[in-house]
Amino acid sequence: MSEFENTNSTEAYSADTITVLKGLEAVRMRPAMYIGDIGVRGLHHLVNEVVDNSIDEALAGYCTKVDVEILSDGGLSVTDNGRGIPVDMHKEENKPGVEVAMTILHAGGKFDKENYKVSGGLHGVGVSCVNALSKLMITEVFRDGKHYRIEFEKGITIKPLSIIGDTEYRGTKQTFYPDPEIFETVVFNWETIAHRLRVLAFLNKGLMITLKDHRETSKKEDGTLPEFQFQYHGGLREFVKYIDENKKSVCEPILIEKTVDDYPMEIALSWNDTYRENIESYVNNIHTIEGGTHEEGFKSALTRAINKYALDSKIFKNDKMKLTGSDVREGLTAVISIKVMEPQFEGQTKTKLGNGEITGIIQSLVYEKLLEWMFENPRISKIILDKCTEALRAREAAHKAKDLIRRKSAFEGGSMPSKLYDCSKGTDPMECELFIVEGDSAGGSAVDGRDIKTQAVLPLRGKILNVEKARLDKMLANEEIKNLINAIGTGIGESDIDLPSNGNGQTVDSSAFSQNGDGFVLEKLRYGKIIIMTDADVDGAHISTLMLTFFFRYMPELIKRGHIYLAMPPLYKVSKGKISHYIFPGNEEEKNRLVAELGGEDGKGVQVQRYKGLGEMNPEQLKETTLDQEKRFIKRINIEDAVEADRIFTMLMGEDVPPRKDFIIEKCHFAQNIDA
């Protein structure tokens, strides 16, 4: 039991040690119970947990700067200039406070509840979990002129707390090395960390957060290492501007900020020239993806306030005219951030706020402040109201158009579009695949090369409508889009259905898609995999982006659940005997290297086959590279982060910016390789 040699406990099996070991063992036995999973997500949970501890120190008002460094040796460090974790002896545990915090489960704020009013941390598991799941963790404290250090291995103290020098600095530095025995991957992702830090900087205005990547592999072309500073003195206002950076805004973001009944609340909102709503909400810095009572209160206040203003300012002549929730939220971008001392998180991913008392509190605040703002800003308010009224008309028009599609398919016995080459019936839809193919000739090869039992082909002619610029009614009138929607079978819309009114004469919120229950229905999905197949050229990239935008906006559930794929056919096949290697676009040098390697000096017996674009592949080649489930190359589209995806899509598809084709191809880190 050499692990105990260096601890300051004289008895290896003291009661304290046993409790600690039991806690650590539980975490290491079932890591997913504590951090969600043991993949990349779980790995980054560790980062969040450590960062959140420093953010808490900032929330308490003692810390102004947090530095995150991805180290070149597999570790990650987080340094803050807070008070430093206490180093004095903890009476009950007979250990320094810092050791207690690092080794005892849930010890996070135990010894100083006052200072941990609203603690973040997704599961509140505490930094001891990170410690338990790290092969090495070093905690350094800078306090009262001294530099302290303590070291752990898999959560067990291997070097007790000691003073290693003097310092003028004040704060805490945590360095940890995730244990590869626990995690499937221990490679940190710059984008994931950067995004989280950026959001934290928006949510905690003024706080300076830096990120540095010291890994050799991360070096940029000019030889420098990636480095970024996040600091936003404008807080949520700047957050809204950031989300809408590539859109035309109707006004500067409106800010509502107040602490009511001990709940600090901050809301920023604005409208832009798109037709979608984008509400992001946070509770104690945690992204509440599934919404909850704070979002409900906000939405209901928004609808009520705008209707009230329309009547009081005589813009609406009588109360027959009423805007619904979806009318007032068309083109709305809003960020809500509140702090709740005892949050109840519900829902599938535990990211839905359940505290009932919040609805009314946020509703009153937003109603009052928004009305006040509108009366003070009549010119902009008129523009917003006009926008809402236009949404109302479009919604009615869309309803008619959609009715038409629905009735038509009912008359035709729900028949499929004539352009669809469907697979034969009687197979489990989840086993089936739909190939959306650019151009008729590639479509022909796909039809000939497919497995007719499970693979369907829908050829698209030319460019599809840019859904980013079209409203629902226009979109639903488009032939290609109609075919696509009918072939997929789910219908369109957002998966969350708005709540009906509470009978106080409030408007019933019902989005244009989800009313009457005719929105998106996952159970009606006709194919388990939907595979977009376009040429690897500029036009092809544009078409796949259009397609992805369509799915992202109107069938986001299919992306979230991993049903959407991109075909990624290789450019070359290099083979010798039975060994074959495939080379993908952009890796042409690799081909020459392989030929030299396999063929030796005379290059004997090496075959190089160059595949043409999809349009020119014959059915056999198409089968080998894209259709055959055993051999083909496809990528699953995986949009982790809706904010970034939204910005990217708006930028790619917006009116102001010419389509950035190189960017489209580069940004394929959305996509994750699937071993075919």
Residues carrying an active site annotation: 438, 535, 537, 539
Structure tokens at 165: 């020098």
Instruction: For ligand 0RA, give the closer residue by CB, 281 or 284.
Output: 284
Instruction: For ligand 0RA, give the closer residue by CB, 53 or 103.
Output: 53
Nearest-approach distance from CB 54 to ligand 0RA, in angstroms: 5
DSSP letter (8 states) at residue 11: S
Rounded Cα distance between 595 and 57, Å, is: 57
Is 49 within 8 Å of 127 (Cβ atoms)? yes
Nearest-approach distance from CB 226 to ligand 0RA, in angstroms: 24
100: phi then psi, degrees, rounded to nearest 5: -60, -50
Structure tokens at 433: 């695949």
List alpha helices for 377-428, DSSP H. Answer: 378-411
Nearest-approach distance from CB 57 to ligand 0RA, in angstroms: 4
Is 389 exposed, middle or buried, given 0-12, 13-18 or 19+ CB atoms closer than 10 A?
Answer: middle
Is 247 exposed, middle or buried, given 0-12, 13-18 or 19+ CB atoms closer than 10 A?
Answer: buried
Nearest-approach distance from CB 66 to ligand 0RA, in angstroms: 9
Is 160 exposed, middle or buried, given 0-12, 13-18 or 19+ CB atoms closer than 10 A?
Answer: middle
Nearest-approach distance from CB 178 to ligand 0RA, in angstroms: 18
Quote the crossing angle between the two packed helices 235-243 and 642-653, to the nearest 10°. Answer: 50
Amino acid at 321: M
**By the criterion CB under 6 A, which residues form the site for ligand 0RA?**
53-54, 57, 80, 82-86, 112, 115, 172
Reference 650, options 199, 276, 280, 230; nearest CA is 276
Structure tokens at 439: 């151009």
Which strands form 208-213's sheet, in the order they lie side by side?
156-166, 146-153, 134-143, 171-178, 76-80, 65-70, 208-213, 227-230
DSSP letter (8 states) at residue 519: S
Q: Is 133 helix (H, G, I), strand (E, B) or coil?
A: coil
Nearest-approach distance from CB 82 to ligand 0RA, in angstroms: 4
Instruction: For ligand 0RA, give the closer residue by CB, 61 or 577.
Output: 61
Reference 29, options 182, 155, 183, 136; nearest CA is 182
Instruction: For ligand 0RA, give the closer residue by CB, 173 or 450.
Output: 173
Instruction: For ligand 0RA, give the closer residue by CB, 54 or 278.
Output: 54
Structure tokens at 614: 């999809």
SS3 sequence of 599-611: HCCCCCCEEEEEC
DSSP letter (8 states) at residue 77: E
Amino acid at 372: E
Nearest-approach distance from CB 111 to ligand 0RA, in angstroms: 6
Is 546 within 8 Å of 467 (Cβ atoms)? yes
Sole residue written with tokens 């990349």: 40
Nearest-approach distance from CB 364 to ligand 0RA, in angstroms: 35
Is 498 within 8 Å of 510 (Cβ atoms)? yes
Instruction: For ligand 0RA, give the closer residue by CB, 55 or 361.
Output: 55
Instruction: For ligand 0RA, give the closer residue by CB, 210 or 587.
Output: 210
Give the number of other CB atoms < 10 A from CB of residue 557.
Answer: 18
Nearest-approach distance from CB 89 to ligand 0RA, in angstroms: 14
Angle at 279 (CA atoms; ends 355, 244), nearest 5 degrees: 150
Instruction: For ligand 0RA, give the closer residue by CB, 57 or 238.
Output: 57
Nearest-approach distance from CB 458 to ligand 0RA, in angstroms: 54
Q: Is 180 helix (H, G, I), strand (E, B) or coil?
A: coil
Rounded Cα distance between 397 and 391, Å, is: 10
Sole residue written with tokens 């080459």: 421
Structure tokens at 455: 């693979």
Is 352 within 8 Å of 292 (Cβ atoms)? yes
Instruction: For ligand 0RA, give the closer residue by CB, 123 or 258.
Output: 123
564: phi then psi, degrees, rounded to nearest 5: -105, 130
Nearest-approach distance from CB 112 to ligand 0RA, in angstroms: 4
Instruction: For ligand 0RA, give the closer residue by CB, 54 or 134.
Output: 54
Instruction: For ligand 0RA, give the closer residue by CB, 170 or 215.
Output: 170
616 Cβ partners below 8 Å, 6+ apart? Answer: 441
End-to-end Cα, the chain, rounded Å: 46
Q: Is 258 helix (H, G, I), strand (E, B) or coil?
A: strand
